[in-house]
Amino acid sequence: MFAPLQNDSFLRACLRQPTEHTPIWLMRQAGRYLPEYRATRDKAGSFMGLATNTDYATEVTLQPLERFPLDAAILFSDILTVPDAMGLGLSFQQGEGPKFAKVVREEAAVAALEVPDMDKLRYVFDAVTSIRRALNGRVPLIGFSGSPWTLACYMVEGGGSDDYRLVKSLMYSRPDLMHRILDVNARAVAAYLNTQIEAGAQAVMVFDSWGGVLADGAFQQFSLAYSRQVLAAVKTEHEGQRIPRILFTKGGGLWLDEIADAGADVVGLDWTVNLGQARARVGDRVALQGNLDPNVLFAPPDAVRAQARAVLDSFGAPLAGSGHVFNLGHGISQFTPPEHVAALVDEVHSHSRRLRGLP
Amino acid sequence: MFAPLQNDSFLRACLRQPTEHTPIWLMRQAGRYLPEYRATRDKAGSFMGLATNTDYATEVTLQPLERFPLDAAILFSDILTVPDAMGLGLSFQQGEGPKFAKVVREEAAVAALEVPDMDKLRYVFDAVTSIRRALNGRVPLIGFSGSPWTLACYMVEGGGSDDYRLVKSLMYSRPDLMHRILDVNARAVAAYLNTQIEAGAQAVMVFDSWGGVLADGAFQQFSLAYSRQVLAAVKTEHEGQRIPRILFTKGGGLWLDEIADAGADVVGLDWTVNLGQARARVGDRVALQGNLDPNVLFAPPDAVRAQARAVLDSFGAPLAGSGHVFNLGHGISQFTPPEHVAALVDEVHSHSRRLRGLP
């Protein structure tokens, strides 16, 4: 059904198999820093207009690959599609981030939550299949979802938050309600990721963007336990191919040991973590993904290259059984000069070949 | 000159000496969650009107002590007084946080920076002396400053920031300019804290509120090195009394070992850190301060008490050579019900006495 894969370095690194270079992709690589993305978005009229239209979603997903020799594509979508499909009414105000028309803060709203019919997310699965076809085997396609906890943050707060006051108030006041939200989310996220895999996603990533705002103890109970539930229910194989599963907890460095045991093949790290120490801690349990500070990309290309080398050198020699996927520690900024991204991708490829003694 | 101290539990815990209970104070304990604070602020007209008036600053500093049996007072002021004294023009827009009229982003602005004449900060030192007198020996008075890095964030960004794009751009593009800003800040902060000590502060705290946004490697170079420079220059004793020095790096849990060696007597921790593990890592090098999530205070009093016990139990038995100062992991929210604070303070005192086998 799909063309054979030409560049499998990303999948191999996820599974801790040898590669000739360290593969790189960038969170939010199809995004506003690219003028061609802004042009397509203008045609689509809005962010959700872009995400829900198969042709536009395919077009923007492939745009960064035309510019840079990235080693993976990631579905163009949003982490909040699942609560939208639950009927909460997602929208994006210009310059303000996501908003939900309905919030989930009280007993009745929590009781009414259900795993949505996956047909309501058909636009996502259609985009996955369309992108996979358009990629034509160039690089693998990554599907993704927000984590149960991260989705719950938005569902309770109704949008972004500085202090997570409402969601944490609910969590500390009515842990029973919080656990019910998280269980529904976990079942929904698992179904969502499995349907993405069936539609053509060759790896999947769980974004626990807000796990790091939790207290020690609360993180394990309210975030990690439900990411683990998701990972236990997501396919590890599809049509004879291993499907690597990535778990990224922003601000989760202190809990690396526990995160590495949650069932993912790859753990994503932000820039606060020392990659060499992280590798020593996780050993052969998981591959690591990360972890350049996206703000490095505002420095001149030579400084970008030096920082890229520092990340690669910090991970250290690419030995059998280890695995490193180069990425940022957070989504790329809309203000990033694209030519700095070109320098980054080039340096990661060339320096990581040098580390392997290859020309 | 000042009345003898009646409750020295905070100072003793900072110096890892035995106490009959775990002392507690709260970051931003004199703040908007108290109606009496809001009344004084209305009289003063503005936040800076409050901070720069000796009588008002004294009044609000003592307000939380009238309500709760807290074990320390903290100077009412702002972390940004030092760059204001450098001539950058600090103001507070209603609901928007601090703003500087001038920013420091280019070579000429960096070259023009100087350690300010401490006379420009006379209002702070006058407040310290006035508060110390008004306390009349009830509890010790803590002075404080922003860390060199945290001050630099505001000086470069011109105010708060979501992504620290401008300050990190400067740091990665022109590290030489960044180091010059940080060196000036470190010398200014040291002079500022020493003058607070001479004016009557019995302990001092360095708030590295934004150290945790830095990448591993950059944190050590651009934040910790300059906090260390400050701590090396700040008095450890004044008029025969030991002056404990506290270093709090929000989001710094991954670097605890290095922070514990920076020269402070006490390391402040946020709620992401497991207090028992932290204690095992630092051993007898430093006391620890923290680390309840301030959002716990939105839960009902019984849940607040349970979470307070969990923090105390996590630190574990109060043995000789260890030291714990109970605090939040961040400033108290303006939406906090004051009666929940009363429950917290009571539980910390009573449970920590129980842990010592005292009635």
Q: Which residue of A has its CA nearest to B301?
A: A173
Classified as helix, coil or strand, B326 is strand
Secondary structure, 3-state, B38-101? HHHHHHHCCHHHHHCCHHHHHHHHHHHHHHCCCCCEECCCCCCHHHHHHHHCEEEECCCEEEEC
Strand pairing class (A90-93; A97-100): antiparallel
> What is the pLDDT at residue B352?
96
Q: B175-201 burial, b for 16+ CB within 10 Å, e for fewer?
A: eebbbbbbbbbbbbbbbbbbbbbebbb
Phi, psi (deg, nearest 5) at residue A26: -130, 130
Summary mean pLDDT of chain A: 96
Classified as helix, coil or strand, A92 is strand
Smallest Cβ–Cβ distance between A216 and the set B163, B272, B335 belongs to B272
Known binding positions of B for substrate? 28-32, 78, 154, 209, 330
> What is the pLDDT at residue B96?
77
Q: Please enumerate in sequence order all residues whose Cβ is within 8 A of that of B253, keeping only pairs 6 or more positions apart, or say none.
A: A253, A254, B269, B270, B272, B273, B278
> What is the pLDDT at residue B109?
97
Known binding positions of B? 28-32, 78, 154, 209, 330
Active site residue B154: yes
Classified as helix, coil or strand, B163 is coil
Q: How far apart are CA A334 and CA A41, in angstroms?
A: 14
Q: Please enumerate in sequence order all residues whose Cβ is within 8 A of that of B53, keeping only pairs 6 or more positions apart, or say none.
A: B44, B123
> What is the pLDDT at residue A80?
95
Asked if B15 and B323 touch (Cβ cutoff 8 Å), the reply is: yes
**Cross-strand partners of A266:** A246, A287
Smallest Cβ–Cβ distance between A165 and the set B274, B300, B335 belongs to B335
Active site residue A305: no
> What is the pLDDT at residue A58?
98
The region, left, alpha or beta by phi > 0 then psi within -120 to 50, assigned to residue A28 is left
**What does the DSSP 8-state code read for residue A222?**
I
B94-117 tens-digit pLDDT: 777 899 999 999 999 999 999 999
Smallest Cβ–Cβ distance between A254 and the set B214, B254, B307 belongs to B254
Q: How far apart are CA B212 and CA A56, in angstroms?
A: 38
Q: At what angle do helices B175-199 and B165-173 cross, to 10 degrees?
A: 120
Asked if A255 and A247 touch (Cβ cutoff 8 Å), the reply is: no
Active site residue B56: no
Interface of B with A (CB under 8 A): 163-165, 168-169, 172-173, 212, 214-219, 251, 253-254, 271-275, 291-293, 295-296, 298-300, 303, 307, 310, 314, 329, 333, 335
> What is the pLDDT at residue B97?
87
B216-233 tens-digit pLDDT: 999 999 999 999 999 999
Active site residue A302: no
> What is the pLDDT at residue A322?
83
Cis peptide before A295 (omega within 30 of 0): no
Check A8, A12, A16, A28 and give the catalytic one: A28
A330-353 tens-digit pLDDT: 999 999 999 999 999 999 999 999
Q: How far apart are CA A308 and CA A296, in angstroms?
A: 9
Question: What pTM was computed for the model?
Answer: 0.96
Q: How many CB atoms lie within 10 A of CB B121?
A: 20
What is the interface size between A and B, counted as CB pairs within 8 Å?
103
Confidence of residue A97 (pLDDT cuts 50, 70, 90): confident
Active site residue A154: yes
Asked if A244 and A200 touch (Cβ cutoff 8 Å), the reply is: no
- Closest Cα of chain A to B336: distance in Å? 10
Task: Specify the length of chain A in residues.
Answer: 359
Q: How far apart are CA A88 and CA B259, in angstroms?
A: 44
Task: Please name each of the domains of chain B with its CATH number.
Answer: 9-355 (3.20.20.210)
